[in-house]
Amino acid sequence: MTEAELAAALDAIRRDRARGASELARAALAILAESAERLPARDGPALEAALRRHAAALAAARPSMTAPAVLIRRWLDALGDAADPEAMRRRAADEARRLIALSESAVQRAADNAAALVPAGATIATLSLSATVTALFSRLAGSGASAIVAESRPLGEGVVLAERLSGLGMPALLVTDAALGHALGEADVAVVGADTILPDGGVINKAGTYLLALAARDRGIPFLVVTESFKRRPTDLGPVALEEMDPAELGVPPLPGIVVRNVYFDVTPARLVDRVVTEED
Amino acid sequence: MTEAELAAALDAIRRDRARGASELARAALAILAESAERLPARDGPALEAALRRHAAALAAARPSMTAPAVLIRRWLDALGDAADPEAMRRRAADEARRLIALSESAVQRAADNAAALVPAGATIATLSLSATVTALFSRLAGSGASAIVAESRPLGEGVVLAERLSGLGMPALLVTDAALGHALGEADVAVVGADTILPDGGVINKAGTYLLALAARDRGIPFLVVTESFKRRPTDLGPVALEEMDPAELGVPPLPGIVVRNVYFDVTPARLVDRVVTEED
């Protein structure tokens, strides 16, 4: 991947709201595989420097998401010796594809583990659009389970999830984010994905997750987070930022003295999380 | 007001989302004043029966709102003897206008009482569009206070409040309903209006209020309800229903197996309410 192609790919990743942290981590690895195979470089050290630059840019593209940084760090560990640039290209591309497969498999196993925890016929409340939660729903479709989904403003990722549930044949109730607290009276369990699991056990996920966790606790139903383990943030990666998107997405006209903010994620404290379910358990 | 005019007025009240419970109660009383003055009736008992029928229809038009029923019940108490229909018309019209003035004054005094409770320079979080909360903000404009407002889907009453705050010169931050939990980290107090104060102290208000109250409790800031006392529900009025509006307001295309619901109100349990501020205290 050339520098111009990388800049375009980074921009697309920064603006992407259709894919969650897990899918974007794999997209970043796919870009690195392509960079490894196609980046022009006069020698091994120049190739390594260019790949490390691409990797750093991709790892930092979505500051609320930890999986890209964790998987890319693993990928960097496998780059090895730069004496033979062609061998480095092969190792780097192979390792990127191995890590993509590992992440895909982790998502599926996390969904398996979560499916084993959800009671038969349960009504499951969620929000936004998580690949892992969608994988869980695909396992439960036709089992008597049903969903309650919040629309997830401003862009309505919850509506996209409802479309997928419709395709899966999973009955669902769709409500506004504001109405989720009331709707939760009909739910047996709340399940969300994650963008980051913080070192203290807190969870960064789509805005609204904190309110859902509060309502689940208040109503006495479990609050589960289902995620591949690569979203656990190592302490040495440093603090995580809550990404803020374009306020224009709210569709509000400019008003003197009124500031519109579109903070896209929130932090759910560990004390509200009943269980983090990964591929490991 | 004729029967056809009443039917149109009832329909407008049922669909009204720009005016809160307090304003709609006064609108109902204004309709009754007009009915008292203009309804054709062959004699006193016929007039009384027609007025009682109008009153019952108006009191029941918005089942989540208690002020119309309470104020209309007071109005019925003043109808008096039907022997002289012209005297009854005058009494009924005068009493309707007296109760409108009483309600307006109660809203202003409740806002005065709330303003005295809010610390100087406070950041006040709210949602939806309450006449009483707007009256509170008009008292605090220019004092160094500021607001955090949730947009209040599906129809965006919070955006209308932000427009009014802009007009008042009160600085405000506008966020999605989902992002209110995170934004509350910057707030000193949460303040909402009410559609009904239940006999057990619970509060019926716009959907999202329950989540705001949970977040206020979790963040350790006070959750205040500011309202005229006419929204306190007498036990003999019977249970209150949560109104459900047209699901099409969410703007979601039809999806097989997916039910869209637009429950417009929710119930905040008394244990989450730090104080109900009325004109009486």
Give A180's contacts in chain B (Cβ within 8 Å). Answer: 211
Q: Which of A144, A278, A184 lies closest to A224, judged by CA?
A: A278
Q: Does B160 touch chain A (CB under 8 A)?
A: no
pLDDT at residue A188 tops 90: yes
Chain A nearest-CA distance from B156, in A, is: 10
pLDDT computed for residue A142 by the predictor? 93
Q: What percent of chain A has pLDDT over 90?
A: 94
Q: What is the token pair recorded at B229?
A: 């006392």
Identify from B210, B221, B262, B268 which residue to disrupt to test chain A contact, counting A C-beta atoms within 10 A and taking the largest count: B210
Q: What is the C-alpha to C-alpha distance for residues B223 and B206, in angstroms, rounded to an integer?
A: 15
- Judged by DSSP in three states, A270 sits in helix
Interchain CB distance below 8 Å, B162 and A208: no
Interchain CB distance below 8 Å, A175 and B262: yes
Interchain CB distance below 8 Å, B215 and A214: yes
Question: B 193-212 residues with CB below 8 A of A?
Answer: 206-208, 210-211
pLDDT computed for residue B3 by the predictor? 83
Among the partner-chain residues B151, B265, B267, the one whose CB lies closest to the CB of A250 is B151
Give A256's contacts in chain B (Cβ within 8 Å). Answer: 166
Chain B nearest-CA distance from A62, in A, is: 19
Interchain CB distance below 8 Å, B176 and A183: no
Q: Residue A172: count other Cβ atoms within 10 Å of its Cβ.
A: 25
Give B210's contacts in chain A (Cβ within 8 Å). Answer: 181-182, 215
Among the listed residues B195, B246, B274, B281, the single catalytic one is B195
Residue A239 confidence class, pLDDT cut points 50, 70, 90: confident
Mean pLDDT calculated for residue range A9-24: 93
Residue A177 CA from chain centroid, whole number: 19
Interchain CB distance below 8 Å, B174 and A211: no
Question: B 252-271 residues with CB below 8 A of A?
Answer: 252, 255-263, 265-267
ipTM for this model: 0.95
pLDDT computed for residue A4 by the predictor? 87
Give A173's contacts in chain B (Cβ within 8 Å). Answer: 258-261
Q: What is the pLDDT of residues A42-88, one digit of tens each?
A: 999 999 999 999 999 999 999 999 999 999 999 999 999 989 999 99
Phi, psi of B60 (to 5 degrees): -100, 0
Nearest CA in chain B to A181: B211
Interchain CB distance below 8 Å, B258 and A166: yes
Mean pLDDT calculated for residue range A97-118: 98
Nearest CA in chain A to B171: A257
- Judged by DSSP in three states, B244 sits in strand
Q: Is A5 left (phi over 0), alpha (psi -120 to 50) or beta?
A: alpha
Question: A 217-246 residues with CB below 8 A of B?
Answer: 218, 242
**pTM of the predicted structure, to 2 decimals:** 0.96
Q: What is the token pair recorded at A85?
A: 């640039």
Nearest CA in chain B to A164: B255
pLDDT computed for residue A1 by the predictor? 74
User: With 0-12 CB in 10 A as exposed, 13-18 as middle and 19+ as buried, what is B77?
Assistant: exposed
Interchain CB distance below 8 Å, A176 and B207: yes
Interchain CB distance below 8 Å, A180 and B211: yes
Q: What is the C-alpha to C-alpha distance for residues A183 and A173, in angstroms, rounded to an integer?
A: 9
Question: What are residue A149's DSSP bridge partners?
Answer: A126, A174
Residues in chain B, pLDDT under 70? none
Q: What is the pLDDT of residues B176-203, one digit of tens each?
A: 999 999 999 999 999 999 999 999 999 9
* Edge-to-edge strand list for the sheet holding B189-192: A258-260, B172-175, B146-150, B123-127, B189-192, B223-226, B275-277
Interchain CB distance below 8 Å, B170 and A218: no
* Longest alpha-carbon distance in chain A: 63
Chain B nearest-CA distance from A117, in A, is: 24
Interchain CB distance below 8 Å, B257 and A169: yes
Give yes or no: A188 in active site.
no
pLDDT computed for residue B238 by the predictor? 85
Q: How many CA atoms are closer than 13 Å to the CA of A269, on its beta-carbon side?
A: 9
Among the partner-chain residues A178, A260, A267, the one whose CB lies closest to the CB of B208 is A178
pLDDT computed for residue A123 by the predictor? 98
pLDDT computed for residue A238 by the predictor? 85
Q: What is the token pair recorded at B10?
A: 């009832």
